[in-house]
Structure 1
């Protein structure tokens, strides 16, 4: 990737908002509650449409002034939905109505940033700046018309160096401030916080959209009913008759139960507490995107750490901490590292195989376990096995 390749297309306000909210070290967004993040992302879309002269607003409503498509797959569906509405509504109404679209908007934006070589995607849905971008950011190699004109550095100059902000920067400051993320990005003193409040008052569209987002965080206009559907129970007879119980394929077992009972179901074993299961394709997709915020390994190791006076034991690391650990250890498991150890690997393999008898058959699982134990036992307990 070259500097020239980054200049072909400028970043949209939504792109820059996503980059601003992304925790580069943790590989995912700063801990912003889901509804808060959704409202901020939708606010960014509305602001971008306004900057492209498709939307305008007054004190009472937000309305379309140009229905022509922008060519941006993130913006055009939102523009069409607003244009098709026969009645005008406030920005606050549209922020809440469009909030369920935010997840797909974030996915499209992240994919686009990866395609353009600005972000790098890692297994487990983590994102970090691509190496060339990271190096330019680290050494301050900024250019005025580069598409990745690093938003955090630019906003930092607006806040701390009193640079005059562009209208787009004002909107980003408003939205990020609404998410209460600045304290996680910069070290703020009283003067910086006052500067942020001042910037948030500079632009009418930014102020109105940020106000709409803030109002929705306090109390949504369109009240949603709570889910009251009873969790279905899998009978023990039905469970034991499932063919996958006999063949031991647990993935297929719970997958088939999810198809029959839905993504959430419960099993009530005799003389034991009920067990609630989340299974199926929809659940796995949700886990991939949102599970890190609700199902955390460290919650289950809390008592263990208290008993042993430990903090941050390796099995309890998850989310951003696990991503950083995996990134730190990756060179030790790289192809280059393995290639340098092939002679020793062949030697140990041949030594173990010399103990095998010709013509005998062995189970791959038990054989592999024995070979692994032969390597680990001297390291862990000082005994050859």
Structure 2
């Protein structure tokens, strides 16, 4: 399951099938960050602190990721990180819709009017002691609540992305969140690329995506 898919599952309220209330543009920007990180993990791009370097001009294994790649590059081999995020985030509503549809097609979600409800637990995720968490929310909660658990690189990225769109407080009870807040920050800080993208996402929140996507500072 991709970062984008699991981020969308984290953002959905399992009770209502609708998205949690989040700060303006934060889900679109974090989803853009998720796609950049997926392309980086797939070695299609290289992410530097301030730039995205294109390593492959096509990604044949996934039409969805290839479309994201073409949106980022627009014929360039090196794109400023904020510009790459802005180009993707401008397509945020479409990216969210396509990610939801991918989850429906996989049989993870079912659509009822404007709601998307889980109809099966997402792919099993084994942990060291032989147990498994087959739900991305359960995984992040277990990781945060157990100070002895060592996060894998995939979940470090998810924690960073959830931090970027202010999701963490919605995954825990009012009593739990103060206890896990610092651990979540420490986990998010383990991934250099993820943190660079999260910082860029947070910085872009109140700025003109159109101007940034075109390479003009607002």
Provide the TM-score with structure 1 as the length reference. 0.49
Distance 2:97 2:177 in 1: 34
Rate the CA distance shift 1:43–1:70 in 2: closer, same or farther, 3 A: farther
SS in 2 for 1:89: strand
Distance 1:98 1:119 in 2: 24
Distance 1:37 1:142 in 2: 25
Distance 2:60 2:126 in 1: 24
Q: Contact between 1:170 and 1:203, CA under 8 Å: does it hold in 2?
A: yes
After superposition, where does 1:282-297 map in structure 2 within 5 Å? Answer: none
Gaps of 5+ in 2: 128-132, 213-218
Distance 2:74 2:6 in 1: 28
After superposition, where does 1:149-188 map in structure 2 within 5 Å? Answer: 149-162=134-147, 163-187=149-173, 188=176
Deviating above 6 A after TM superposition, structure 1's stretches of 4 or more consecutive aligned residues are none
1:126 partnered with 2:126: no
Aligned with 1:212 (options 190, 200, 208) = 200
Q: Contact between 2:160 and 2:194, CA under 8 Å: does it hold in 1?
A: yes
Q: Which has the higher contact order (CA 8 A, sep 6+)?
A: 2
CA-CA distance at 1:103 after TM superposition: 1.2
Query: Residue 182 of structure 2 aligns with which residue?
Result: 194
Query: Residue 70 of structure 2 aligns with which residue?
Result: 80
Aligned with 1:110 (options 92, 100, 122) = 100
Query: Residue 369 of structure 1 aligns with which residue?
Result: none
SS in 1 for 2:78: coil
The CA deviation string for residues 167-194 of structure 1, in whole angstroms up to 9 with x for no partner, is 2211211111121122112123433000
Distance 1:210 1:199 in 2: 13
**Larger radius of gyration, structure 1 or 2?**
1
Q: Contact between 1:64 and 1:82, CA under 8 Å: does it hold in 2?
A: no
CA-CA distance at 1:126 after TM superposition: 0.3
Query: Residue 56 of structure 2 aligns with which residue?
Result: 66
Aligned with 2:34 (options 44, 47, 53) = 44
RMSD: 2.4
Distance 1:143 1:158 in 2: 12
CA-CA distance at 1:25 after TM superposition: 0.5
After superposition, where does 1:268-287 map in structure 2 within 5 Å? Answer: none
Q: Higher helix fraction: Structure 1 or Structure 2?
A: 1
Distance 1:165 1:218 in 2: 32
Q: Contact between 1:27 and 1:128, CA under 8 Å: does it hold in 2?
A: yes
Distance 1:88 1:150 in 2: 36
Provide the TM-score with structure 2 as the length reference. 0.84
Distance 1:220 1:166 in 2: 35
Distance 1:191 1:171 in 2: 21
1:92 partnered with 2:82: yes
